[in-house]
Copies of this chain bind each other. A is one copy, B any other.
Amino acid sequence: MHETPASLICTVDVVLLTLQEGALAVLLQRREREPFKAAPALPGGYIHVDEDAGAAAAAVRVLRDKTGIVSPYLEQLATFSGPVRDPRGWSVSIVYYALLPGNALPADALLAPVDRLPQLPFDHAAIVARAVDRVRTKSQYSSLPVYLCGERFTLPQLQGVYEAVLGEPVNKVSFRRKVEELGMLEPIEGELSSGAANRPAQLYRLRKAFRQTLSITGRGLNGRS
């Protein structure tokens, strides 16, 4: 028996997470065409076999062309597939996710809190849930949430970001110990935060070596170690 390639739809979708009013939010975009024209959905599109070097390159292109956003960090989440998730037919979506600080997004970006999503087409609600789960699990053991911060931040600000991602309070002592273990931060010499009522706090930034990679520790937050 000679097999031929199946005729199916192959797309990439991007889950871009950020913080909005202290809570984890996802970037949505109104669909330009059918199916589900005008509905808010994850930015996505077909792979272009004549120009894309791979699915990751397709995700970078789709995000840039549809939203103007260039993300420094784009990781494969998972691939979703089946006969019913897209009314056009049997479909495959290779999904990537990224974390960006709010000030890296266009001012008119359409955001929705991940815990109160509007109705989304396809299986996009399940995809967002999977991305949030991945980010929360990874944040227990890594520097991932740092990508939601601006370039300079205090330790209390970073702790607030971890708490927003995890959706629960974090013990300050465990948090400081973990940051120390990850070895990913450096104090910015002579730079203190200002404007707060209490005494100014040291400002930190991500060490250069960690700007494109994750730092991982075996010690989780929230008593899991």
Q: Residues on A close to B: CB < 8 A?
A: 2-10, 33, 45-49, 52-55, 76, 78-79, 81-83, 88-90, 92, 94, 140-141, 217-220, 224-225
In the docked arrangement, what's the CA distance between A140 and B49, Å? Answer: 39
Contact assessment for B10 and A92 in the assembled complex, using a CB-CB cutoff below 8 Å: yes
In the docked arrangement, what's the CA distance between A140 and B7, Å? Answer: 40
6 contacts between A and B (CB under 8 A): A2-B33, A5-B46, A6-B47, A47-B90, A76-B78, A140-B218
In the docked arrangement, what's the CA distance between A49 and B6, Å? Answer: 6
Contact assessment for B6 and A10 in the assembled complex, using a CB-CB cutoff below 8 Å: yes
A46: B residues at CB distance < 8 A: 3-6
A94: B residues at CB distance < 8 A: 79, 81, 92
Contact assessment for A53 and B218 in the assembled complex, using a CB-CB cutoff below 8 Å: no
Q: Which residue of B lies closest to A91 (CB)?
A: B5
Contact assessment for A9 and B2 in the assembled complex, using a CB-CB cutoff below 8 Å: no
Tell whether A6 pairs with B79 under 8 Å between CB atoms, given A92-B92, A218-B225, A225-B219: no
What's the number of copies of this chain in the assembled complex?
2
Return A1 CB to nearest CB of chain B, in Å.
Answer: 9
Contact assessment for B53 and A79 in the assembled complex, using a CB-CB cutoff below 8 Å: no
Q: Which residue of B lies closest to A48 (CB)?
A: B6
Return A157 CB to nearest CB of chain B, in Å.
Answer: 25
Q: Which residue of B lies closest to A88 (CB)?
A: B5
Return A181 CB to nearest CB of chain B, in Å.
Answer: 10
In the docked arrangement, what's the CA distance between A45 and B6, Å? Answer: 10
Interface residue from B48, B89, B219, B224 paired with A49 (Cβ < 8 Å): B89
Contact assessment for B225 and A49 in the assembled complex, using a CB-CB cutoff below 8 Å: no
Return A58 CB to nearest CB of chain B, in Å.
Answer: 8
